[in-house]
Structure 1
């Protein structure tokens, strides 16, 4: 099957005068026709520089209109769009750039120093304002690229907390079907508006709402950084109807005075993704009568895989719902067979939204894609009615004295204590038990480990109660704001007893 029609150009033809993008930092806005003109300029510039089908073009910048300029220009030419993670350490970023070897990088001046030592970079486009493309000089070209649906369109680097990042290759099919599945299953339409604060080097920033809404003719409001109070202001000012934040972002948002004072009359639903969401965040929205739900995905699949009506979250708190219309899921045990309702197993997913392969990593690809199913490495269970609950990462499961402990259950109960701000539970090596359950806790007010132990004993089985409670000022976070348990394990696994209370 070949694509004869560029879906972005078809969307432009249908709604040329409708606002597509707003920059919340400058209040600049662009209609679909104006965005198309930008894409044409960038596409012609790419072509004049010899960029052709299969070549890589990258961008290293905060959220900005240039992401869409580059993405849709790459779509037209058949190039591969790579959003680079500017939060990576210089050595990590150098590895990623050398791995994907882009022919051109669009870069914000803020990050030029991060790549100055890399000698393989050929062309740079400086993105220092919204009209940066006025400096791109080229003649118009007739670009007629024959594309197959499985041809690569984007590559997003995933991982990095364990081992080197892997480039997940997303094809035209992957991105289109994620967008189709999302708009149909989540009932999105051209009257919807989202705020994109999550960095667009992350699949959540690019593929959860941004591209699906541009497919359906909606509006995307861009923010170059996440500031809790400003995010709430932008939701209200731009009359946003849907939004995605990760739990850490919500944790900060619900503590702002503006959130507490606001009614959000235009919002249909707030969505949490990226990591299991603490139940106290559900409660903060429920108390205000606001629709709130949780999604689940990964760079390699979607990242949208489930749908739940926000009304169902009242009786099914913590559930991500059921598989969307155009993808399948399974939950399997160690024997490879599907588990019974209520039992925990590894979550598998498949569909046209799935990634094609890891760039230059055939062995890792075979480990992840088996018989058409993506093995997510996440643990889940399904209730009798078919609602799915994410239990946590398979690698995070703790085995203590032969018993399985799923950290999320313990974390949620610890966080229900009024003195606790955040909690992370991991397993640390122990000669007697193999592993012991250890809780790292950030507190709002002073509380003793004994009080936390008594709190846990009221709700959870004895072997799940942490044997150690470590109060710290701040939990380490990943580049997109998830709690970094790998960093905790690395720091404390070999610690002396005097270091770990």
Structure 2
């Protein structure tokens, strides 16, 4: 790629000037309006002292203002640094203050107190209500105020990982990597990106949110942004707005299929549906095929730009558990413990190489060197390729729990629980949840069952609510161990496979 994303959006501001780029509730913003609004907001950022390379933090729920700020930061040459709006003060301050050292923090009304508390820790860090973007909507762009020229290799965004090692890392994506990812995805399935209308409800602070948003704006599509997922509302949006594209974890598609309105809904506009996070069941596939909609399994992670591969049309029906074979410029392979490529049908670590892979982890050269090897991202996931090069993901080596589409690091929850007095050992695994798909279950050696209320309070202080275990088991016996000395999570998963049926929730 030879151009920045700024050039891409400038192109659409002329070619599709009056076409809606964003639809958020009753708000419609055309491509021409998006360019003017973001430009004025970028000039305002510069006037506040934001310079190229500065990090601009944002802690807010999905909104139109969130998107305008992200575009403005890009135009000002700043690096967008979003965090999950559900983070506690401890979680948010670790990333924004300790790791990223942001120049400014933007927040919505619900996060105002947390943002101000963070700013109190760092003199000179600006704190701004995201509603400031509304004031700038009708402020004319001043052609006399120059914005910095975008550079192809300039850092664009830092997206936090789920923290599989106990603390989140920041994945850095640049204009070059994002543009390469966007172009490669389009070439892999061109028909999906002709004036697309995408329903987006993933948190914008994640790659499933920000990358998908940027991707479809770069295609000149219309993004229908939701603050959160609601199954009935999603069906209504698909029908009334003729949505062509949607993606999410299986639980979202299961909840839609369970709605009474699903049976008679006209979903024929849906051309491109991607499902990730866990396998598509045959029952779920058949339910959507009955509506004329094919669900395609995908595989990806933030370090590879987001989506690395999705299943082919034929294999999505015959082998729904498979995830495709990459794309024109993105290669998928499997390696053994020595780092050598393995033959077909041999399990090993999935590795990905392509234009969309991350530039690095933010200020973490050691982690970068161990993850990005010879241009290949070592995903930490276990998988296998068949004779046709189709990928099957077998397990999450990184021990991630996916709850309602949000990634939860078992290691992070274990770290917090282990800091509670009297905890000798802890293992956190996924338990089945009918609402969120999965939810954390903590097995703890040390404390007595009577300590659970205090343990929950401790977790709630240091973890976002969605990370706090809904099930806790306190045992006086040491946890089982593997020969290597590690806690035997496979046996614990087997023992607690029906935890959702036989254990009482603790919250």
Query: TM-score, length-normalised on structure 1?
Result: 0.78
The structural deviation recorded for 1:186 is 2.5
| Preserved CA contact (<8 Å) 2:235 2:262 | yes
Q: After TM superposition, list the pairs within 5 Å mapping 1:323-362 onto structure 2.
A: 323-362=326-365
Q: After TM superposition, list the pairs within 5 Å mapping 1:59-98 onto structure 2.
A: 59-98=58-97
The structural deviation recorded for 1:129 is 8.8
Report the more deviating stretch, 97-106 or 368-377.
97-106
Q: Secondary structure at the match of 1:314?
A: helix
Q: Secondary structure at the match of 2:303?
A: coil
Gaps of 5+ in 2: 401-430, 444-478
Task: Confirm whether residue 143 of structure 1 aligns to residue 146 of structure 2.
Answer: yes
Q: Which digits, 9 at most, give the CA deviation of each residue in 1:275-310, with x for residues without a partner?
A: 444444323323433211111111111212113333
| Preserved CA contact (<8 Å) 2:171 2:360 | yes
Corresponding position of 1:201: 205
The structural deviation recorded for 1:64 is 1.6
Alpha-carbon distance between aligned partners in 2 of 1:388 and 1:114, rounded to the nearest angstrom? 42
The structural deviation recorded for 1:258 is 2.0
Corresponding position of 2:413: none
Alpha-carbon distance between aligned partners in 1 of 2:238 and 2:164, rounded to the nearest angstrom? 32
The structural deviation recorded for 1:207 is 1.4
Q: After TM superposition, list the pairs within 5 Å mapping 1:55-134 onto structure 2.
A: 55-98=54-97, 99-118=99-118, 119=120, 120=122, 122-128=125-131, 131-134=134-137
The structural deviation recorded for 1:224 is 1.1
Alpha-carbon distance between aligned partners in 2 of 1:283 and 1:63, rounded to the nearest angstrom? 32
Corresponding position of 2:451: none
Residues 18, 134 of structure 1: alpha-carbon distance in 2 compared, 3 angstrom cutoff:
closer
Task: Confirm whether residue 10 of structure 1 aligns to residue 2 of structure 2.
Answer: no
Residues 161, 195 of structure 1: alpha-carbon distance in 2 compared, 3 angstrom cutoff:
same
Q: Secondary structure at the match of 1:252?
A: helix
| Preserved CA contact (<8 Å) 1:185 1:307 | no
The structural deviation recorded for 1:162 is 4.0
Alpha-carbon distance between aligned partners in 2 of 1:475 and 1:83, rounded to the nearest angstrom? 36
Corresponding position of 2:50: 51
Q: Which digits, 9 at most, give the CA deviation of each residue in 1:169-218, with x for residues without a partner?
A: 1111111111111222132334210011011101011213x222211211
Corresponding position of 2:23: 22
Corresponding position of 1:304: 307
Gaps of 5+ in 1: 398-413, 441-465, 477-487, 492-501
Q: After TM superposition, list the pairs within 5 Å mapping 1:460-479 onto structure 2.
A: 466-467=494-495, 469-472=497-500
Q: After TM superposition, list the pairs within 5 Å mapping 1:155-304 onto structure 2.
A: 155-160=158-163, 162-187=165-190, 188-208=192-212, 210-304=213-307
The structural deviation recorded for 1:101 is 2.2
Task: Confirm whether residue 381 of structure 1 aligns to residue 384 of structure 2.
Answer: yes
Task: Confirm whether residue 364 of structure 1 aligns to residue 367 of structure 2.
Answer: yes
| Preserved CA contact (<8 Å) 1:44 1:141 | no
Q: Secondary structure at the match of 2:301?
A: coil
Report the more deviating stretch, 70-79 or 330-339.
70-79
| Preserved CA contact (<8 Å) 2:268 2:291 | no
Query: TM-score, length-normalised on structure 2?
Result: 0.77
Alpha-carbon distance between aligned partners in 2 of 1:51 and 1:172, rounded to the nearest angstrom? 19
